[in-house]
A and B are shown apart, each in its own frame.
Chain A
């Protein structure tokens, strides 16, 4: 069991979140740049205006009152209603914001002589010419101090008024874009949904598939992002189709190949059941047992072939020493060797004694067993089978020779086909032995060939294995 990977964030959510974050960041940066740019400009503009106001006051007021003796500072009041409005709209009397602007005119001794109603009695700031920012009554004020003649003029403006302008400019720049974000997200969502429809169409097709259906998938719209997936899926389906076809053919062939042995079993079984003498029954039962042996062998060979043709399991690969495998294979078929009174000789070249092949031990054993068994089956009674292992460079060469009837050269390719039997040899085997040999050899990168036996008689089967 493998752990199922966690469900990843959906593409749509990813795109929407990504787009939103990017948009907000860009807008934020734009607003900030606009704010800081506007604020700077506003400071300069306001400072210039503050200075101009101070200069006007100095000319119009300071010079008149500098020498005057006043008991209490003259307060220039704002019209009452103006102070009460408390909002931003300009009116016939002036503007509410005038409450946020103040001035003081002080004499040479620093005493406040004239001030606006919004200014305190006490001095704004020390008498140093120029701009300064000071906290007055809990608010930051921007103060400009001008020294003309004997008088000092100080003009002040609440700092937050200036900030407000910059904020409003920045907001005005960002607001339409900000309002556009939800609309953009909705549109984006629709576009993404539209863009992903081929994917959901593909998902529906895959979900609706029956297990045996291997026709390729086709999409009405096949965008470049999804085309590789469809192509890969169809490639997989093609391989599945080949495997299924192979299975189907194997099953059909197996059903066909079993018909004759089963027919023989049934005939002898029925003959035994209907026999009128015990000698007849005995003869029929004997033949039925022979038929059973043959059917069992055929079923085993079918399984072996099915396994040989199945894709290999990499975890079963190991170094397999060849010489012991030959002896093990011969051990396994000893009953048939004795039954046919065959002589099987194994000769291992000293250079090949230690040779090993990288592979699946069970399959290699099956290959060797089938090679020797095939030779024993198709050689005459009391025949001789020679098994030889030698080394040629980096290959191990296994040859199995018999003194049987031989295989005509035009049939030497066909005998490797499954269920192929040389005409006239029915009953000797299932026609799968050499097919198993070839399947396993190919899976191990080995080559198989058929030659004449020693002295031009019989058959020699040769397998070249790449050494481990």
Chain B
């Protein structure tokens, strides 16, 4: 799950980033409107958290230009602009949701989950796949009803692959989701996480497509016994 956070207030931005980071999401944080526009043109995000009062370019303009360019990334506006006309303006400009500052972190995270869920066309948060059950709200994973303890990156990798089940994701895509722009990973760390997942769950859970990437097949094995 990769989120673009656009917030010019350094202290608030750090707080939102921490909250998202601790709920196992990769956060890219920019502090002005033009950077936000550039980021949206350059990479794929699962969600944008957008402040409106931004230097460089107003958040509303960022939003309009994203929608005008055909971008369908869900956008959650976070703003101090609280009057009904201001909210209407934000929603009409293409926002999927609108949260007024100051907000509750739990509510922010719930709305983030709701938008993620809507992004993959599901009505409930929990992803079930054969014997696997992943709950994004509690970051818990069970396999055949048995709780599995996953490391942060392992969880993120599993969630990403499950959300795009049947779709082969490239090594680069997965690495960007896991580490963000900062990267700084050793070349084999992705393989290490996949190895751990196969060991903790079951070996066939992730299939390697040579030269392309990795995939979780849409038709899971009935019950691996």
Bound CA–CA A210/B56 (angstroms)? 46
Bound CA–CA A260/B99 (angstroms)? 12
Counting CB contacts under 8 A, is B32 at the interface?
Answer: yes
Contact of B102 among A257, A263, A283 (CB under 8 A): A263
B55 to A, closest residue via Cβ = A423
Q: Are A280 and B103 in contact (CB under 8 A)?
A: no
Bound CA–CA A290/B9 (angstroms)? 13
Min Cβ gap B129→A in Å is: 26
Counting CB contacts under 8 A, is B18 at the interface?
Answer: yes
Counting CB contacts under 8 A, is B15 at the interface?
Answer: yes
User: A259-B101, A271-B18 are known contacts. Are A287 and B11 too (CB-CB below 8 A)?
Assistant: yes
Contact of A265 among B54, B102, B106 (CB under 8 A): B102
For chain A residues 362-404, which have a beta carbon within 8 Å of chain B? none
Min Cβ gap B82→A in Å is: 7
Counting CB contacts under 8 A, is A262 at the interface?
Answer: yes
Counting CB contacts under 8 A, is A294 at the interface?
Answer: yes
Counting CB contacts under 8 A, is B105 at the interface?
Answer: yes
Q: Are A259 and B56 in contact (CB under 8 A)?
A: no
Q: Are B22 and A276 in contact (CB under 8 A)?
A: yes
Counting CB contacts under 8 A, is B16 at the interface?
Answer: yes
Counting CB contacts under 8 A, is A447 at the interface?
Answer: no
Q: Are B103 and A263 in contact (CB under 8 A)?
A: yes
Contact of B104 among A266, A287, A294 (CB under 8 A): A266
For chain A residues 394-432, which have a beta carbon within 8 Å of chain B? 423-424, 426-427
Bound CA–CA A270/B8 (angstroms)? 20
Q: Are A267 and B80 in contact (CB under 8 A)?
A: no
Q: Are A274 and B80 in contact (CB under 8 A)?
A: no
Bound CA–CA A260/B104 (angstroms)? 13
User: A256-B80, A259-B82 are known contacts. Are A267 and B12 too (CB-CB below 8 A)?
Assistant: yes
For chain B residues 12-27, which have a beta carbon within 8 Å of chain A? 12, 14-16, 18-19, 22
Counting CB contacts under 8 A, is A264 at the interface?
Answer: yes
Counting CB contacts under 8 A, is B137 at the interface?
Answer: no
Counting CB contacts under 8 A, is B10 at the interface?
Answer: yes
Per-residue B-contact encoding for A328-353, CB less than 8 Å = 1, 0 else = 00000000000000000000000000
Chain B hits for A256, CB < 8 A: 80-82
User: A259-B80, A266-B105, A287-B14 are known contacts. Are A424 and B8 too (CB-CB below 8 A)?
Assistant: yes
Min Cβ gap B157→A in Å is: 20
Counting CB contacts under 8 A, is B100 at the interface?
Answer: yes
Contact of A270 among B11, B82, B106 (CB under 8 A): B106
Q: Are B105 and A271 in contact (CB under 8 A)?
A: yes
Q: Are A260 and B101 in contact (CB under 8 A)?
A: yes
Q: Which of B22, B32, B54, B81 has the most CB of A within 10 A?
A: B22
Counting CB contacts under 8 A, is A145 at the interface?
Answer: no
Chain B hits for A268, CB < 8 A: 11, 14-15, 18
Counting CB contacts under 8 A, is A291 at the interface?
Answer: yes
Bound CA–CA A423/B11 (angstroms)? 16
Contact of B101 among A263, A270, A290 (CB under 8 A): A263
Q: Are B19 and A271 in contact (CB under 8 A)?
A: yes
For chain A residues 201-228, which have a beta carbon within 8 Å of chain B? none
User: A263-B103, A264-B11 are known contacts. Are A423 and B18 too (CB-CB below 8 A)?
Assistant: no
Q: Are B11 and A427 in contact (CB under 8 A)?
A: yes
Per-residue B-contact encoding for A273-302, CB less than 8 Å = 1, 0 else = 011100010011001001100100000000
Name 21 A/B residue pairs within 8 A (Cβ), A-sorted: A259-B101, A260-B9, A261-B9, A263-B15, A263-B102, A264-B9, A264-B11, A267-B12, A268-B15, A271-B18, A274-B22, A283-B18, A284-B18, A287-B18, A290-B11, A291-B11, A424-B31, A426-B10, A426-B55, A427-B10, A427-B11
**Chain B residues in the interface with A (C-beta under 8 A):** 8-12, 14-16, 18-19, 22, 31-32, 54-56, 78, 80-82, 100-106
**Chain A residues in the interface with B (C-beta under 8 A):** 256-257, 259-268, 270-271, 274-276, 280, 283-284, 287, 290-291, 294, 423-424, 426-427
- Not counting A263-B78, A268-B15, a sample of 8 additional A-B residue pairs whose C-beta atoms are within 8 angstroms of each other reads A256-B82, A263-B80, A264-B12, A271-B15, A276-B22, A287-B15, A423-B54, A423-B56
